[in-house]
Structure 1
């Protein structure tokens, strides 16, 4: 049985996880960028600058961590789904990935939606015949 829909949804989850990693890296880069720091100093108070830099650091970490988890485990699930090797294990893995990503970061809900739909489909679909 072909698992094309599950694979496509898993790949979309991996791609959105990669976007999350990229966004987190940009946040961490901005935190240390001299031009951005000068922009902050020109229009904001010192307390607003400190708060913004703190939030950028936290947001960067909260984007990178679930993104890396989603990429690594999502690729593993795609490999298990390819060729219909172990769809039940891949389905449970995708559901667990989505729960972990959702717990770590609220923004992680975006790739988690793709992963949970693919996981449920992998568990529910039966082989023809």
Structure 2
């Protein structure tokens, strides 16, 4: 449960930073930011694995770059479910996916159990 909360906070930070940096990504309130982080976590847990398996051939052909489009689609799907979260266009979704992914990666590096050292 604590891991889910920490991940939701990291996702919230990534989405907030995306709204600040990427044109076309916006929130109407802090509540919609919190809801977007929770919904994105649920969408990533349920829909994303199915979409990754279905799009595996194109992901292999593009050397993994298509996963950015898959992540952008998950952010766009979250925006469709939530009225207070807006993503305008594919490139805004890709930008939000890059920023959110970078924030998650940095948070994993900073976490005590994020990097396993031998």
For the superposition of Structure 1 and Structure 2, which TM-score range results when normalised by the shorter chain? Answer: 0.3 to 0.5
> Which structure carries more strand by proportion?
2
Q: TM-score, normalization: structure 2? A: 0.34
Query: Which of the two has higher C-alpha Rg?
Result: 1
> Which structure carries more helix by proportion?
1
Q: TM-score, normalization: structure 1? A: 0.32
